[in-house]
Amino acid sequence: GHDVQVVDPDVRGYVYGLVTALGGFNGEDADRYVLGDDALACLRDIKRWLKLYDEKNNRMDVARCLGEANLINGDILPILGLWWATGQKSKHMTRISLACLELLVPLTWPVEFHSQMTVNHHRHTPYIQQTQVQYKRGILKYGGSNLLRAIIRIALPSMVTARSEREARDEGILKLMLYFLRNIAIISPNTRLAAEGEEEETSRSATINAFHDQDAFALLLTMCSNVGEDFNLQDIILMEIIFHIVKGVNVEKLFMDDDQRKVKRTDELSELLKKENSVRREYAKNAPTRHGRFGTMIWVKRDDAKVSTVSGQDVLRDDQTTLHKMDQTKKWNKPKPRRKQDDAIQNSNFNMPAHLNSEATKNLRTFVEEFLDSGFNPLFTHVRKAIEREAERVLDINTRQFFYTVGWFLEAERVRRAWQSRQRAAQSAGRTKDIEPDSYGLVAGVLNQETFISLNRAMQTSLDNKEWQDLNAQMRCFTQVLLTVQEMAMSPLEEDQEIAENIQNRIFYEETTHDRILAIVRGYKDQGFGYLDACTELAHVFLRMLERYSKDNADMQIRSRRKAKRTQKKADKGIEDGANDDEERDSEDEDEVEAAQVTKERSFDFKRFAAKFCNQSCVDTFVTFTGFYKELNSEQLKRAHRYFYRIAFKQEMTTLLFRVDIISLFYRMIKGPGPMDSSKSVFKEWEELVRQIIRRMIKKLDQRPALITEMLFSKINSTVYYLEFGHEKQTSYQS
């Protein structure tokens, strides 16, 4: 019963009539779906309604009615089942099945909250999202029949036709089938809505297993490896499907033996238990030893004969807890600005980790390996070209998906190689048999100059236009490229080494690349944790590789593009200092000078480059990152540790860390409340680092009493040198 008519009753009437006329389960033989006399016409009419009412008026009424009338699960799926079981030879049934597919695609099309929504959209979107999950559940698990396989079957005749002989209709059918697979891959239970039924049935694992069991993966592999030849127009959509399958999947866990994974999982469990234990211990340390109404109250003596009162027995323990409690009882919180959420969340939420069960892990791993072996190069080369050409089928979102997916598979290839060599070592235990090392040819399609150029250009554009999620994907991709190249350089194959050398030379040759990395790290301002993670990782990997490379190649040259010297011009102008006309002409000249950039080669000085990361904004970025220390893993904690170590002891700029909030964070990480897990090895490293930093700080406070006020603020460039070294900089150059 609807109290409010959300849909025009006439429309509802028509649509319901059509659905009823489509067919139904016969009364005598209740298991059998019987088609209505004019089923095909009904299907076409429904399609027309969707097109001419919903699409044309930008409404979602018909889609909602169809959801309420249970069209998909009640009619379409049984009809497709019928076709799969008995009707494949019949031309009429084949036509009907195609009409079903034509309805399935628009009805499973992802709906999202976006900025241009009407009232009508707001009304229907949650309902439709909910029903789409039900559609997916039905499609993945309809009775005993294979609906995915049935739908692939519909497109098979068009697939086997050679590309030259394919008609527009065939291409259309292929497109429908692929979009259908993509929609199925995208749909996932909305976390904001209450789940109905088993969530596991529509999870990523369920999708992957269905794709594997019903040969959707086989289809994808065939099409990907023939993308240049037989399937020209399908490249983007194929990549999209793969993106939605792999997004957020942890590569490390994918390439583990069952035993390893079991061990890993047990480790994780015991780690979690330990974590919980330590939380409990932490609480027990401060927990009251008597009942809640015992009513202790203490005075904290302050200056000027003032006192503060704090209640509770726990505060008797020591000053730290007392002061902590004093702070915690304050009610006011500084308002925090909230960042606006990105529009298309569902389409690109690769920051959310996806968990797979062991069967899905195995299936996905098989697919990933086969894809790397045959489909990777053809698909991604083709997609890159399409993106560069700005082909009509390419949407903005596809660029982001491209870079993320490339990065993901590069990581997968690296992890797979490590996995394989582990396995080989285990098999030939003891015997050191010579095994032909594989080359990196399998991923060479993205390790070429063209890809680097487009990656660099894309990063610059995203940075300039503040498209953070795009930049996030590109940073992850770039990091993976760097890591792959690093491993190639260590390959036993001479050819690989040479290529790696070449690539590194190219990557590190452009000074603009160096400056961009710096600008990204400096420019972090609440873009979210995923972005923070990506940009700190990139900076970490880039700096370390560059350091090693410039050490090995002492005479490394870089191409630096600089604006022509303007200071000189200005000085000249100062002498003339003429009338208005002159000035105008001068400013014109200046513009020209500005446009002309001087390009020259100069030798690279790593120390000077690393010094550029030594500034307050970079420090702030890493401090924000470290602030998540309770959720960070060892690798991430190490990354932050190395950075601060570099600041404090390699570049001798500890002063940048002498800020009360930073010291307070470091102190909390080691001594609590809520410290790091002290059983981890990285804890020891951190403890030592913090100890050293504090020691220097105490010493400095003695030497320079002004630091007591400066501890409150970010340092000003002109005073930071004095605070560190006790005298002014000798030279006048500014870095």
Residues that bind other proteins (CB under 8 A): 302-303, 306, 308, 319-320, 323, 326-328, 330, 332-334, 659-661, 663-664, 667, 670-671, 690-691, 694-695, 697-698, 701-702, 704-706, 708-714, 716, 718-719, 722-723, 727-728
Give the separation between CA 309 and CA 313, rounded to whole angstroms. 12
Nearer to other proteins, 270 or 717 (CB): 717
CB of 657 to other proteins, least distance (A): 12
CB distance 15 to 65 below 8 Å: yes
C-beta neighbour count of 433 within 10 angstroms: 8
CB of 331 to other proteins, least distance (A): 9
CB of 512 to other proteins, least distance (A): 29
CB distance 177 to 155 below 8 Å: yes
Nearer to other proteins, 1 or 705 (CB): 705
**Which residue, 231, 245, 127, 126, is CA-closest to 183?**
245
**Which residue, 244, 225, 496, 468, is CA-closest to 352?**
244
Peptide bond connecting 110 to the previous residue in cis, omega within 30 degrees of 0:
no
CB of 310 to other proteins, least distance (A): 12
Give the separation between CA 604 and CA 510, rounded to whole angstroms. 11
Give the separation between CA 566 and CA 594, rounded to whole angstroms. 8
CB of 532 to other proteins, least distance (A): 18
Query: Sign of the C-alpha dihedral, residues 321, 327, 333, 338?
Result: negative
C-beta neighbour count of 445 within 10 angstroms: 19
CB of 248 to other proteins, least distance (A): 32
Give the separation between CA 584 and CA 581, rounded to whole angstroms. 5
Nearer to other proteins, 320 or 505 (CB): 320
Nearer to other proteins, 328 or 580 (CB): 328
C-beta neighbour count of 16 within 10 angstroms: 15
How do strand 307-311 and strand 33-35 relate by DSSP bridges? Answer: unpaired
CB distance 310 to 325 below 8 Å: yes
CB distance 163 to 232 below 8 Å: yes
Nearer to other proteins, 109 or 667 (CB): 667
Nearer to other proteins, 310 or 379 (CB): 310
**Which residue, 566, 609, 561, is CA-closest to 591?**
566
Give the separation between CA 583 and CA 479, rounded to whole angstroms. 48
Nearer to other proteins, 551 or 671 (CB): 671
Give the separation between CA 23 and CA 40, rounded to whole angstroms. 10
Structure-token pair, residue 552:
């090995």
Nearer to other proteins, 89 or 336 (CB): 336
**Which residue, 72, 78, 188, is CA-closest to 133?**
188
CB of 246 to other proteins, least distance (A): 39
**Which residue, 538, 533, 532, is CA-closest to 482?**
538
CB of 704 to other proteins, least distance (A): 6
Structure-token pair, residue 16:
């319901």
Nearer to other proteins, 277 or 329 (CB): 329
CB of 335 to other proteins, least distance (A): 10
Nearer to other proteins, 650 or 704 (CB): 704
CB of 205 to other proteins, least distance (A): 41
CB of 698 to other proteins, least distance (A): 5
CB of 619 to other proteins, least distance (A): 12
Query: Sign of the C-alpha dihedral, residues 420, 423, 428, 431?
Result: positive
SS3 575: helix
Give the separation between CA 132 and CA 188, rounded to whole angstroms. 9
Nearer to other proteins, 329 or 366 (CB): 329
Rg (CA), the chain: 32
Q: Identity (one letter) of the amino acid at 502? A: N
Nearer to other proteins, 91 or 336 (CB): 336
